[in-house]
Structure 1
Amino acid sequence: MSYSRSTSPLPLPVNHQRDCMSAATKRWKYLRRMLKFDQMDFEFAFWQMIYLFIAPQKVYRNFQYRKQTKSQFARDDPAFLVLFAAWLCITSVGFAIVLRLTFWKFIHFLLYVIFIDCIGSGLLIATAFWYVLNKYFRLNEDQDIEWGFAFDIHLNAFFPPLIILHFCQLFFYNGLISHEWFISRYIGNTFWLIAVSYYVYITFLGYSSLQILQRTHLLLVPLPIIVIFYFVSLAAGFNITYFLMRFYKERVV
């Protein structure tokens, strides 16, 4: 499928340019801009976050545009990563309040979320997709998937679950989800069903946007498995949210 920039409602990134750089140069330029907030396009990154919820397929049209103008799919502007990190901090404060964590336990929890749940798992997942898809799904041996793009796909797919599970769900936890009622596990498990489905679907959209890949529909195979597990958990009386909230608390004690 070919995407046209004119069909995307997202604004243009302000720093687009027509040049080609080596992978090492691109990485160095990205890292060098991490602390230069005045050079980041936060408006563009904010719009991407909104569209990851309402129309995630349109976000990848801008990745196609970047490939045409900068010869790379991966983001060259760290604004999205900076906003993502800010949301991690905000939602972790919510967790600390709900779980009644002390200040130092909150710091422990925040570091765990950033370096294990997000970055650590992201490195493993992005590398696994990068290796498997390059090895078994490529149509053309002369082109391959950028590892940076694989990591961007993980961040894109991780953002809606972050907001759903680490923000929205917290408002219902103490008053409703933490009990042993059926409605408690129904609401809690439904939050997880929506969040994990978002992750799988956005991951599929990211890789299916690449013309060099085939059989990307196989990335949707986990969805029916997730739905089956959802109904089994309801029938078995297993409250996923309550179980994981206890796990979150115990790992920082």
Structure 2
Amino acid sequence: MVTSRGERRKMLPSTSVNSPAQGNGVLSSRDAARHTAGAKRYKYLRRLFRFRQMDFEFAAWQMLYLFTSPQRVYRNFHYRKQTKDQWARDDPAFLVLLSIWLCVSTIGFGFVLDMGFFETIKLLLWVVFIDCVGVGLLISTLMWFISNKYLVKRQSRDYDVEWGYAFDVHLNAFYPLLVILHFIQLFFINHVILTDTFIGYLVGNTLWLVAVGYYIYVTFLGYSALPFLKNTVILLYPFAPLILLYGLSLALGWNFTHTLCSFYKYRKTRPTTLKTSNLLAVHLTVLSTPAIIKAQRLCLQKGYGNIVKEAQKIWINQN
């Protein structure tokens, strides 16, 4: 249940966020055992399967404000630190709603790309476990290490960035990127973006610029919200190479969305090995037969089909 601002003020403790009693300072033995990383992780995973205990209304509120006012979302993280002595979420409702968004948007992506049922399922598994979870674990661990190693203030060495908070920051930043690239972009893919025109890759690459730029910005807000970190402005530095890459892509005609769609559509459909007959057919290219060479190009595009059959079809048409 979402409390009002007045109720929250009454519930807030009198100590500040930076006080040792509320920060990562000294806790009683009972509180220390209750607030260990293992205990927090166990509590979070246990609640992951108890939907009645999740506050989906508040999670939906956070998703809305990640677009309109992401600073308000991180102010709530301050409130959680003061009341529960942890920065990271203890309610997996946000993760559950994000997973639902991933499923819906990926199914839409598969429909737009005219993928079959099993190809869409493979794409869904890839997006969930690789694009979101796998990349998220990598980025979160990297940011957790960098922030604790280089961004903690000298006078605040007793404080540290929770790994769970680093993962929450990634999820916060990933959600707007997901909506822009996996939902809004779907309405422009077939009729605008994939038309091999300047307008096509201008629209597509601009959506990528906005999505990745917003990811960087929300990540910056997440770490700048921690009062014991310094020089968090360096997290905005990736904007420079991002804008440079955007300009180069327009100059060179590189369509980011076209590359993504090709990767999604053909990643799992191309066999990793060739059959013996096809392998022998590849060696026939030394004869420089135009039909075989043309068939080889077609089969590479289609995913290593039977080169001999394609060559026969082309030879028959030519004669």
Q: 1:178 aligns with which of 194, 198, 208?
A: 194
Amino acid paired to 2:113: L
C-alpha separation between the residues in 2 aligned to 1:180 and 1:24?
51
Amino acid paired to 2:37: A
2:143 counterpart of 1:126: no
2:81 counterpart of 1:49: no
Q: 2:53 aligns with which of 9, 18, 39?
A: 39
Amino acid paired to 2:191: G
Q: 2:161 aligns with which of 145, 156, 160?
A: 145
Q: Name the residue aligned to 2:102.
A: 88
Pick which of 61-70 and 230-239 moved more.
Answer: 230-239
Structure showing greater Rg: 2
Q: 2:260 is paired with a residue of what secondary structure?
A: helix
C-alpha separation between the residues in 1 aligned to 2:37 and 2:130?
26
C-alpha separation between the residues in 1 aligned to 2:122 and 2:253?
31
C-alpha separation between the residues in 2 aligned to 1:180 and 1:107?
28
Q: 2:183 is paired with a residue of what secondary structure?
A: helix
Q: Name the residue aligned to 2:229.
A: 213
Amino acid paired to 1:241: T
Return the TM-score normalized by structure 1.
Answer: 0.92
2:113 counterpart of 1:99: yes
The C-alpha deviation readout for 1:35-89, integer Å capped at 9, x for no partner, is 1111100000000000111111111000000000000000000000000000000
Q: 2:171 aligns with which of 155, 159, 183?
A: 155
Q: 1:240 aligns with which of 239, 246, 256?
A: 256
Amino acid paired to 1:238: W
C-alpha separation between the residues in 2 aligned to 1:21 and 1:141?
19
Q: CA RMSD in A?
A: 1.8
2:188 counterpart of 1:188: no
Cα deviation for residue 6 of structure 1 reads 4.5
Pick which of 203-212 and 227-236 moved more.
Answer: 227-236
Q: 1:174 is paired with a residue of what secondary structure?
A: coil
C-alpha separation between the residues in 2 aligned to 1:219 and 1:21?
29
The C-alpha deviation readout for 1:138-196, integer Å capped at 9, x for no partner, is 11211100000000000000000100000110111001100111100100000000000
Amino acid paired to 2:133: I
Amino acid paired to 1:117: D
Amino acid paired to 2:171: L
Q: 2:40 aligns with which of 13, 23, 26?
A: 26
C-alpha separation between the residues in 2 aligned to 1:65 and 1:105?
44
Runs of at least 4 residues off by over 6 Å: none
C-alpha separation between the residues in 2 aligned to 1:23 and 1:233?
43
Q: 2:192 is paired with a residue of what secondary structure?
A: helix
Cα deviation for residue 231 of structure 1 reads 1.3
Q: 2:190 is paired with a residue of what secondary structure?
A: helix
Q: Name the residue aligned to 1:231.
A: 247
C-alpha separation between the residues in 1 aligned to 2:198 and 2:110?
26
Pick which of 100-109 and 123-132 moved more.
Answer: 100-109
Q: 1:77 is paired with a residue of what secondary structure?
A: coil
C-alpha separation between the residues in 1 aligned to 2:160 and 2:248?
39
Q: Name the residue aligned to 1:116.
A: 130
C-alpha separation between the residues in 2 aligned to 1:49 and 1:37?
18
Q: Name the residue aligned to 1:72.
A: 86
Q: Name the residue aligned to 1:250.
A: 266
C-alpha separation between the residues in 2 aligned to 1:6 and 1:225?
40
Q: Using CA pairs below 8 Å that are at least 6 residues apart, which structure has the higher relative contact order?
A: 1
Amino acid paired to 1:115: F
C-alpha separation between the residues in 1 aligned to 2:95 and 2:243?
31
C-alpha separation between the residues in 1 aligned to 2:71 and 2:218?
8
How many residues align structurally? 241
Identity across matched positions, percent: 56
C-alpha separation between the residues in 2 aligned to 1:224 and 1:54?
24
Amino acid paired to 1:143: Y
C-alpha separation between the residues in 2 aligned to 1:163 and 1:58?
20
Q: Name the residue aligned to 1:136.
A: 150
